[in-house]
Amino acid sequence: MKAYTSDNIRNIAIIGHGSTGKTTFLEACLLATGVISRLGQVEAGNTVSDFDKMEIEKKYSINATMVPVEYNKVKLNFIDTPGFFDFVGEVNSALRAAEVAAIFVDASSGIQVGTEKAWASCNQFGVPRFFVLNKTDKDNVDVDAVVASLKSKFGTSVATPDDREALSEAIAETDEELMEKYFENGGFSDEEFAKGLLQGIASCDIAPVFTCSALQGTGIKELLDAFIKYTPKPTHHAVYETVDGEEVICGDGAPAAFVFKTIADPFLGKISLAKVIRGTLTPGMNIFNPRSGKDEKLGSMFFMRGKTQGECPSASYGDIVALGKLQLTQTGDTLCDKAAQVEFPPVDFPQPTLFMAIEPAKRGEEDKLTTGLRRLMEEDPSFVLERNAETRQSLLGGQGDIQLGIVIAKLKDRYNTEIVTVPLKVAYRETIKGESAVQGRHKKQSGGAGQYGDVWIRFSPSEEEFEFGEDLFGGSVPKQYVPAVEKGLRECMEKGPLAGCKCQNIKAILYDGSYHDVDSNEISFKIAASLAFKKGIVEAKPCLLEPIMRIEVLVPEDYTGDVMGDINKRRGRILGMEPQHGGITKLMAEVPQAELSDYAIVLRAMTQARASFTMDFERYDEVPGNLAQKIIEAYKEEEEAENK
């Protein structure tokens, strides 16, 4: 594949609901331009785009894939993206490299949830968009009705290229001067119309609608012509803003590129897909990574079409290139000239909303599991691996069960490591509501020097996590042993007497005790303090606390009542509601974490995947008595089973 200049490059993200024919469209483009001789099929597992072993097995797209198409001396860099909502991180990555998004719609199905989400993603990142009505060859397809529904849903900016009147109105609405000219003259000249249409698309004010049948191959070349004509050139992209607020224009100058996607190839190693924003990249060039603060030498450079690699002698601004085996570079990094440093914001990945507790199927493979998942995270940074120190569980978090299932399957396939899921534990806490004054006395005699420590400690609630003080008199406990008493208490705070949970909000005052001139030492007073803690907490009305999460749910108005009812069933409390743009309501609520383990799955099913949510830790509250008793009993049973 030859090198192209920015005037002859178009970067297009293919997005939309699953099964709308995105991957098949790219097959049709490659067939129409002579790259392939036969149309591949997703069901047969032989498409150029879905080449990953897991994609072939599952028969749907999982990864964002580069599929450049050369047509009429122009290179169209298509980025195919998955339709499943679990892989929204792939869509976000692709949109960072594109000048326009083509939202595919199944003409026989009309607007679907994925259509709405694709439009919202374009709004979120300020990306111009087209609609492509695919599968127009199906029976009983009414293209006009689908276009009308798109206009009704997304506004009058939606219009077909042959509807000059509708497009003229849309162009007029983008600019006051154009509006005046439109009303004065009753329309635009051909030159004004063409210029206004391109400006309207680039400013996201106009969304043209095109039609095709990828399976039949009809309308493909016409669509490629339209993409060339209406997609903004890379140099017409809005200015790129750096993390420091500096503005960078796509054009000539000191090299700067943005890595929007990483591929972990089992045979070729790590491949970084980068959009060149400024200057030119060449093999052998030293390039600086501002995040790592280190230089990397560009080794192999190539263009990718699916899994096929084509030689790349150089990549200039506006193009997308694959960089082989960069050791320090990851998705979201900037690569630039060290003498002209810039750093672009990283890819915006959604917060994980579904977590599962995992363990290796075989003992002793913990390190192998962690290493494998870390490598997979290079490829898909939208999932996370966390270690909960309190529950001692490893947590795998992502957007949904489909994504996490794929991660687990890839781990087994690529790294021969199997995972088992276990019940997710909640990091409960323990505290006290009352006061107590108790003695902790440790005495041990074993022939030689013995051990002796004796303390009296008052326990009471505190606003701080742990508060220690002493109110000694008359040297009842020598000063050198006081730190040992505090250390013994702090260690006990890690495991409370009710359910073995970490303790908090406890005040302990050492006010009396006794010692032995020979047998007393630090370890004796540390043990004495622990004895006092275990006794004193039990006598000070201990209780169990649970983490309360603040959730914010964005939900269409039609589903608001159902979502509120479900939150109430989860012991939640609605804090407020705020209307949002486009008939969306934002619900703010507080819900115990124990009630949210399946919320991502339930919310998706309840709202046909139209709602989304975020959650953050808010505080700890007391667990209701009946539930607390069940938690304590379960802990005791587990302890007894381990001690047998």
Beta strand extents in 40-163 (DSSP E only): 65-71, 74-80, 100-106, 129-134, 158-159
Instruction: Give the pLDDT of residue 502.
Output: 97
Residues 173 and 35 in one domain: yes
Residues 445 and 490 in one domain: yes
Q: Is residue 640 part of a domain?
A: no
Instruction: Give the pLDDT of residue 177.
Output: 84
Tokens matching residue 600: 């991502």
Residues 401 and 548 in one domain: no
Q: Is residue 123 part of a domain?
A: yes
Asked whether the whole model's pTM tops 0.75, one would answer yes
Instruction: Give the pLDDT of residue 499.
Output: 95
Tokens matching residue 52: 């990953």
Residues 204 and 116 in one domain: yes
| Domain at 99, CATH number | 3.40.50.300
Strand partners, 286: 297
Q: At which of 289, 310, 340 does a domain end? A: 340
| Coil, strand or helix at 482 | helix
Q: At which of 507, 540, 573 does a domain end? A: 540
Instruction: Give the pLDDT of residue 189.
Output: 87
Residues 556 and 525 in one domain: no
CA atoms within 13 A on the CB side of 561: 1
The amino acid sitting at 493 is M
Residue 348 vs residues 90, 264, 326: alpha-carbon distances, Å? 10, 20, 22
Instruction: Give the pLDDT of residue 174.
Output: 83
How would you classify the pairing of strands 308-311 and 301-305?
A: antiparallel
Q: At which of 393, 422, 451 does a domain end? A: 422
| Domain at 478, CATH number | 3.30.230.10
Residues 280 and 197 in one domain: no
Q: Is residue 53 part of a domain?
A: yes
Instruction: Give the pLDDT of residue 69.
Output: 98
Instruction: Give the pLDDT of residue 626.
Output: 94
Instruction: Give the pLDDT of residue 447.
Output: 67
Residues 205 and 123 in one domain: yes
Residues 229 and 322 in one domain: no
- Of 125, 371, 74, 353, which Cα lies nearest the Cα of 260? 125
CA distance 401 to 589: 24
* Overall domain count for the chain: 5
Q: Is residue 347 part of a domain?
A: no
Residues 609 and 531 in one domain: no
Q: Is residue 280 part of a domain?
A: yes
| Coil, strand or helix at 614 | strand
| Coil, strand or helix at 633 | helix
Residues 388 and 460 in one domain: no
Q: Which parts of the chain register pLDDT below 70?
A: 447-448
| Domain at 287, CATH number | 2.40.30.10
State the sign of the Cα–Cα–Cα–Cα dihedral 342, 347, 352, 357. Answer: negative
Residues 552 and 529 in one domain: no
Quote the domain boundaries for residue 606: 544-626
Instruction: Give the pLDDT of residue 176.
Output: 83
Residues 20 and 91 in one domain: yes
